[in-house]
Structure 1
Amino acid sequence: ILDESPEKLSADISELIQSRSFFTNVEAVNTLLGTVKSVVKSLEFKTTTFADCFVELIKLSQKIKSLPPVSDYDFKYQCVERFNKRWKEFDIQLYLLAYIFHPHYRGKGLRLTVLRNVYILAMKIWINMGGGELSSADLISQIQSFYLRKEEYNIPFSTNKGDVLTWWLLCNPVRSEENHIQKLALKILAITPHNAGCERVFSVLGWFANQRRTK
């Protein structure tokens, strides 16, 4: 267009396209949009958990980190700034707890100092569920055994066909009344981190109502 029909473009657009950073910007945006699309798609499944959400956020942060810096308009800096702003809006400790309870992730890569804070959150939630001091201690012991993949919790999990809630329902290394980690894990992992299901229902209801009105 610049060579054959330059009159179709304004001076500002022509200058923008000819700048050295233009195609670098385009490549950066294209790379990031692909990742964002993948993240959004993966988080709309019915089986999505807080753990999956946490993992996808980490993937997105790594993709932003790998973006090349741009001289004219620091797109990478803007992405980092906005990501950090949104990150602060999350109750990240709850996501970390779900990440630890997921039979595939099991808190992989977390530092020991992070685990301590998550243990404290687990005990707070457990006490709110009616647990006591003794059962809280048992809960932490069970979480540690699960995290370390001890024999009683070392049950295979299929990332393709596995369902985390089913896995935990079938995980019974101790008597039901003493299986504190199972009760807490089922509660945390049953939380849906999106409202895609509700939106689909309202969409169908809206379509149905409109169809009725037009008849």
Structure 2
Amino acid sequence: MLDRLPVPGIRPYIPGDTGNATTWSVPVRYKTVPGLTVPRIFAGEMTSAVVQAATELVREGAQLITCGCGYSIRYQEAVRAAVDVPVFLSSLLLAPFLEKTLPANKALGIIVADKSALTQDMLEMTGLRADIGRRVVVAGLEDTPAGPALLKGEGGDADIGAFKTEVVNAAVALQKDRPDIGMLLLECGDLPPYAAAVQQATDGIPVFDYTSMVEFFIGGLIRRPFTGLL
């Protein structure tokens, strides 16, 4: 977990957010990385502190390591090398898989907290090809009025209703600009609560996020017998 800035304001982790334990189908253990604020994760700083948090979680029994910020892709390889359990630090790891499933005439849309912070090398860290071109389209929420309180932990109370509208509007605008978008990926761990509203507003196209990625792995970690008719 990122370390929230010590500024006034109520910014809850609502159901669906990666920071809300009721989001998940299995028990969760959280660990904040002291000093790992949004500016520092954008800059890719504090690798050793992130690795330490991950190794502590594994010692405490974690069977999967994830994070709440898609820009933590910068730490994916360092953490993966340090622990002996699967590591899924960024929802952006879904991008190459989703792009591969799309028809040749369709594109993947990605909605991110801050478009300027998502560099080409970060996309390549996910496994996307450098020549992906128009197959991947990115829209950012950095200029939304309600976004800073939720996405960057800046001062003021979070306005959940307003932010939901802003996320939906960003998705609709992206789809209008690029009608060839066949899937959407929500980068930030604060965005899954709005996935259903985004899907409804974008004519029902598939929408993926952190929960899609983590729950996919949980499905393999905890297998149950099939039941049904013979």
Higher strand share: 2
Higher helix share: 1
TM-score of the alignment, normalized to the shorter chain, above 0.5: no
